Amino acid sequence: QCHLWGGKFRRVRADFVIPNCPARHPWILWMCSNKEKQVPPLRQLDGHGMSTCKMQKRLRQLRYVMSKYELNGVSKGLQQECRPLEAATQPLIECQSSAAVDDTTECSRKRRRGQLSWTVVGKLLRKKQKQQQVC
């Protein structure tokens, strides 16, 4: 499905927004398409197909987080194609340890890992990566 906006054909509509929610929903959109909303698998999108610089940045952030899950899935021998929704979320459940964040915050508060949005997970992973590079 192609959409025409900005003088070019794009894979998503001009008003498309990457949702800010826990990792399960973006993972499903990353692996499978949403035919009702005419959205292809997000892994097939590039930054030029997004309507704003903010959406381009969010796509880069999403790609970073999902690549962590995918690399762990490949090392465990999990399939990386679209399947029924329940089967599509199974690799995510098995690979969430690759994007593990600490159970407590810097202020010693307990963190609800299952409720963290993918954007927060991405920020924490980048922060952790920077700390490992410094050490």
pLDDT by 10s per residue, the chain, length 135: 788 788 888 888 889 999 888 888 888 888 888 888 888 889 999 888 888 999 999 999 999 998 888 887 777 776 666 666 667 777 777 766 656 677 777 777 777 766 778 898 888 888 888 888 876
Full-model pTM? 0.79
Using DSSP, state whether 8 is helix, strand or coil.
strand
- What is the phi/psi pair of residue 10, to 5°? -130, 160
Residue 34: strand pairing partners:
39
How far apart CA 102 and CA 33 sit, in angstroms, is: 32
Q: 72-75 — which CB contacts under 8 Å span 24+ positions?
A: 72/97, 72/98, 72/99
Structure tokens at 115: 């409720």
How far apart CA 35 and CA 29 sit, in angstroms, is: 11
